[in-house]
Amino acid sequence: MHQIFLATTNNFVDSLYEMNLMAYVGYEPTRCTSFSNVFEKSSNISSKKQLIVVSLSVIENLDELIFRLDSCPSLYTLIIGKTNFEHDRALVVQNKYDIREIIRCSAKLLDVTARDMALKKVPDFYPIPKVIFSKLNESESDIFKKENDEYIRIYKKEDEYSYQKDIFATMEEHLYIESKKRLSFINQTSKLIVHELKDKSLKVDEVLKIADEGMNVVANSILKNDKISKEISQISKLCIDAISDIAKSVSKAKKLLEQLLNNQGGYIFNHTVLTTYLAKQIIKNMPWGTKEQEDKVAFAIYFHDIYLVPIFNKYDEVDEETLLFRSDVFEEEKETVFDHAALAGELVRTFDRAPLGVDTLITQHHGDLHGKGFPDFFNDEVSPLSKIILIAEELSKHILENVKENNLSLAYDKSLIKKKLLERFTRHTYKKIIEQVDKILL
Ligand SMILES: [Fe+2]
Ligand SMILES: [Fe+2]
């Protein structure tokens, strides 16, 4: 028998992992309250393998983890978070909502195969940590409680219930669902991220973290199927709202960027949030600018580089076109980079009720009418909103590049920015937009 120890920062996420590890890997994890608690609990147990599933933020000292792994050959670890940690008996999953990957890596470390799981006997009723229900307003299956070895139905499928006021407040740690429903029940837990994105009490840094992870969830899901599912469309909409709210709440681009850099999110996420802020500012200053246009542009910018998220997560780069010339980037990835505007334009056509014309804005975000490559000539045929996106992108790239190089005074130098933009976008219609740079709060 193997043993799993689980230590993350959030009780709810722990429960989510617990439920999935039980259902898909076949072991009930032992919950730990801290990094040292993991070793207190694991040292008295003589199981075949001991797997620690731990959030990066819980680990006090990575050197200590290496020491522990080196001195105990039956110890394995799965770290959840953004780290380059390497060890023969360790794997890393960057996104805490990527439950599928967490399951896959845990099973791999413990050598549990799908066949092993199929052969396992499962009791008729399946325990679900009570806290899981607290984040769902309704259940997709009947809910039971256990009393004297009997299972009593307390809620029917789709009954609405309230966690705080209701029976949950007084009951034990687990409730039950029928085992045959367990996989479909567990698979709907992406509602978690929806719930977190709806939480209006969060601070900007917390919202940034969740929206960044939400963007990764969306990007990963479109890699697997080239359509936007209902769930993914809901997550995207909430992320777009969150980004728009953040853009509204900050006073200057500089402040926004400070917060983004503190968040340590992905490059495409930072680029997306900053570009959204800048494009909104330009629209606000255009005599014809409306709130609808701001919303449409926020939507377009959210998806414009979505196919690049995994590629930028892999390579340290700030320029999209440069990826085409790097020898370490695979040909297939270069094709995606070349076509990313066209691919994303096609993708949003599968989105239920996307703002009208947003697919064209996305397709043309590098100035090519068909969304291919990175033209140097910007023609007049693209719409005014496309031009705003082009300028905002260029502006955002200038700021991010200079901040990365630590040239802070150049990053926010309006006259330098205007000069560069006027050299690149020579047509008269672009000039009118570039003039707005003076009014944008950098
Ligand atoms: Fe972009
Ligand atoms: Fe792009």
Rounded distance from Cα 79 to ligand 2 centre (Å): 31
Rounded to whole angstroms, the Cα distance separating 394 from 417 reads 9
Rounded distance from Cα 358 to ligand 2 centre (Å): 15
What is the end-to-end Cα distance of the chain in Å, rounded? 59
> Which tokens go with 49?
């393998």
Rounded to whole angstroms, the Cα distance separating 279 from 393 reads 8
The DSSP output letter for 160 is B
Which stretch, 97-106, 224-233, 235-244, has highest mean pLDDT?
A: 235-244
Q: Where are the alpha helices (DSSP H) in 190-330?
A: 191-198, 204-224, 230-249, 253-263, 267-285, 291-304, 309-314
Rounded to whole angstroms, the Cα distance separating 314 from 312 reads 5
Beta partners for 175?
128
Kindly identify the ligand whose nearest atom is closest to the C-alpha of 371: 2
What phi, psi does 136 have (nearest 5°)? -110, 135
Number of Cβ within 10 Å of residue 429's Cβ equals 13
Q: Give the environment of ion ligand 1: residues with CB less than 5 A.
A: 305
Rounded to whole angstroms, the Cα distance separating 323 from 105 reads 29
CB 95 within 8 A of CB 218: no
Kindly identify the ligand whose nearest atom is closest to the C-alpha of 267: 1
CB 69 within 8 A of CB 77: yes
Closest to 173 measured CA to CA, from 6, 19, 5, 40: 19
Instruction: Give the pLDDT confidence score for residue 424 in this predicted structure.
Output: 93
Q: Which CATH number fits domain 199-439: 3.40.50.300, 3.30.1510.10, 1.10.3210.10, 1.10.340.30?
A: 1.10.3210.10
Do β-strands 143-147 and 150-155 pair in parallel, antiparallel, or remain unpaired? antiparallel
Rounded distance from Cα 320 to ligand 2 centre (Å): 7
DSSP letter for each residue of 358-423: HHHHHHTTTS-TTS-S--S---TTS-HHHHHHHHHHHHHHHHHHHHHTT-HHHHT-HHHHHHHHHH
> Which tokens go with 416?
């330098």
Tell me how far CA of residue 152 lies from CA of 128, 144, 147, 155, in angstroms: 15, 5, 7, 9
Rounded distance from Cα 336 to ligand 2 centre (Å): 11
Rounded distance from Cα 304 to ligand 1 centre (Å): 6
Q: What pLDDT, in 10s, does the model give residues 117-172? A: 878 777 788 888 777 776 666 677 888 888 888 898 888 877 766 654 565 665 66
Query: Which CATH fold would you assign to the domain 3-119?
Result: Rossmann fold (3.40.50)
Residue with more model confidence, 194 or 69: 69
Kindly identify the ligand whose nearest atom is closest to the C-alpha of 271: 1
Q: What is the mean pLDDT of the chain?
A: 88
Angle at 256 between CA 222 and CA 235, to 5 degrees: 25
| Rg of the Cα atoms in the chain | 25
Beta strand ranges found along 171-256 (DSSP E)? 174-178
Rounded distance from Cα 389 to ligand 1 centre (Å): 9
Structural domain boundaries in the chain: 3-119, 125-188, 199-439
Kindly identify the ligand whose nearest atom is closest to the C-alpha of 367: 2
* Average pLDDT over every residue of 366-384: 90
Q: Which residue has the tokens 């020898």?
A: 327
Rounded distance from Cα 259 to ligand 1 centre (Å): 19
Q: What pLDDT, in 10s, does the model give residues 47-100? A: 789 999 999 989 988 999 999 999 889 999 999 988 899 999 999 998 787 787
pTM of the full structure: 0.73
Rounded to whole angstroms, the Cα distance separating 326 from 337 reads 12
Q: Please give the share of the chain, as a percent, with pLDDT higher than 70.
A: 94
Beta partners for 80?
55, 93
Kindly identify the ligand whose nearest atom is closest to the C-alpha of 272: 1
Rounded distance from Cα 200 to ligand 1 centre (Å): 28
CA 60 to chain centre: 24
